A = this chain, B = another copy of it.
Amino acid sequence: MGGREWPLGRLAERLGAELHGDPDRVVRAIAPLGAAGRGDLSFLANRRYLKDLRTTRASAVILGPGDVDVSPTAVLVLPNPYLGYARAAALMADPPAVAPGIHPSAVVDPAADVSPEASIGPLAVVGSGVRVGARARIGPGSVVGAGAVVGGETRLVANVTICRGVQIGARCLFHPGAVVGADGFGLANDQGTWVKIPQFGSVRLGDDVEVGANTTIDRGALQDTVIGDGVKIDNQVQIAHNVVIGPDTAIAGCVAIAGSVRIGARCIIEGAAMISGHLELADEVHVTGGSAVAKSITRSGVWSSGMPAQENHVWRKMWVRMQKLDDFARRLSRLERLGSGRQSDE
């Protein structure tokens, strides 16, 4: 959790925050309000923790302008305290320095072009014609297929697989087990047996993309699968062939995106949602957790279909009733006919 000392004055300056407190007081780490102690910086981003603020033992807290008076300790005031926490954490993180160079156990094809400033970890494989940019880091056990491009400062943490020809921008981050550029699931049926369709496309990822652990992004069938700049993808996400995702879209864990889907910019797809093939989602569409998008969404908005769990006996009763909806509808219509029949009788 950090380690370097940050005087509050200097931290406030870096964050663009207004400081209420001693500029020479130092913080070294970040902790939640309830757990923070001396030397810790904390923050209030969710009103439900307001009571923890009143009793926090943190040396300083990041707060919105309205909460300054409540604080028992030094305050860094910022309009968006959660963003402030993110920026402070980035400043206080102390990533281990990685020495450039190729580990002797790595297997790097002589026809690969690896920046002398890049780092290739133990037991990594870098294929023919691969280009690895400056300060990029190919972690242990990772495989980069022939002809792939890994941009500057991009990091493959460990056991990542980048298939042949995939193009990755700068400052991207791939967590362990991520697989980019496997064949899309293209099949044609010939009288009951499946004929595989070779996948000629590749995958292109922009800059500042994050790809979670064990996430898979398939190569396109004829054209490329495209992931825009700043897209953030969590763990265990499946992105099928020919998908195009606009910049700054965030996709949470276990989402399944079928083939040829086009998703706009700045969308939020919550966990375990699924999107059927060939659909288009406009910019700034928000799909809530577990929802199944089955038609295109042409304008910004929030879409849902997740079915909340209930106690089993309540759920079973609901399910029985749902199966009788057709019967309900008929009975309701009959009652209406009877009613109107009587009305006309009267």
- A contact set with B: CB distance below 8 Å: 1-2, 29-32, 35, 80, 82-83, 85-87, 89-90, 92-93, 96, 103, 105, 107, 121-123, 125, 139-141, 143, 145-146, 157-159, 161, 163, 173, 175-177, 179, 182-183, 185-190, 192-198, 200, 210, 212-214, 216, 218, 222-223, 230, 232, 234-236, 238, 240, 248, 250, 252-254, 256, 258, 266, 271-274, 276, 287-295, 301-312, 315-319, 321-326, 328-329, 331-332, 335-336, 338-339
Contacts and interface: CB of A to CB of B under 8 A. Distances in A.
A255 to B, nearest CB: 9
Nearest to A81: B188
B256 A253 contact: yes
Contact of A83 (B188, B235, B304): B188
14 contacts: A35-B223, A87-B188, A105-B107, A141-B161, A145-B158, A158-B161, A185-B212, A194-B248, A236-B238, A258-B271, A293-B309, A301-B312, A308-B319, A321-B326
Contact of A238 (B85, B235, B248, B276): B235
User: Chain copies in the assembly?
Assistant: 3
A44 B106 CA distance: 46
A306 B305 CA distance: 9
10 closest A-B pairs by beta carbon, nearest first, are: A321-B325, A86-B188, A294-B308, A161-B176, A182-B213, A302-B312, A93-B198, A107-B122, A291-B309, A175-B182
A288 B234 CA distance: 25
Contacts of A177: 161, 177, 179, 214, 216
Given A93-B198, A328-B328, A187 B250 contact: yes
B301 A288 contact: no
B254 A274 contact: yes
